[in-house]
Amino acid sequence: MDGITMKIKLAALCLLASSSVFAQENKVIAGVNYATSLSAEATATFENIDDEITEDIDISDLGFYLGYVSNRNNRFLVSYSSASVDFDKSDGEEDITGFDFDWQFVYGKEQVQPYLGLGLGLHTIDEALILNGTDKEGESLSGVSVQLMAGIKLAVNEQIELDVSVKRKAYAWQSVQISAGFFSDTLDTSYVTNSLSFGAGFKF
């Protein structure tokens, strides 16, 4: 709970701090995004034995965001998301929750507006599947993410916009010391996903 509380406080502080950066002409925007992976992979590395395990995964993500539209039509967004991860070989599932902080650089103010973006995130895996069978089974993992995106916004009217984008997102999870019987090692885990995202936003 402490980790979740800290993330909520950090997200609120970042959003409040951003208000001093933008001009008074800026609009607030709120919306929802849904993303589904086109391809994704999980990697687990054992440091002592120098071994690596990879597995294909599927990730679907639902997020809600709040942010600002600058007078140049660029965006700073803070979002909270919940993602479901399905493992192909392990036949298991886990959930990821967290906050993302995204900057979107939008070109033009016509009805169709291409854009590029980048972002950072703070996330938690609830009951990480990789820890099953170890002394850490049932525990969570915290991590950070970096993402790049490219997409198109469609202005329905002055208040409503639709969004389609492709994203590449990399998660790096905390290192953890695990034990299973006589085996002990340090485990590093990462996920990389390429996804297609759909969204809708309302400016006010």
Which distant-in-sequence residues (6+ apart) come within 8 Å of 9 by Cβ? none
Q: Running along the chain, 204 residues long, what does each successive block of 10 average in pLDDT?
A: 55 52 67 98 91 95 96 96 94 95 96 98 96 94 98 96 98 95 92 98 94
Query: Do 127 and 136 meet the contact criterion of CB atoms below 8 Å apart?
Result: no
Distance CA 113, CA 102 (A): 17
Query: Do 61 and 97 meet the contact criterion of CB atoms below 8 Å apart?
Result: no
* The pLDDT of residue 19: 46
Q: Which two tokens stand for residue 144?
A: 């950070």
* The pLDDT of residue 95: 97
* The pLDDT of residue 181: 84
| Distance set, CA 122 to CA 80, 137, 153, 171 (Å) | 10, 22, 26, 9
Distance CA 107, CA 4 (A): 35
* The pLDDT of residue 49: 84
* The pLDDT of residue 97: 98
Helix (H) or strand (E) run with residue 155 in it: strand 141-155
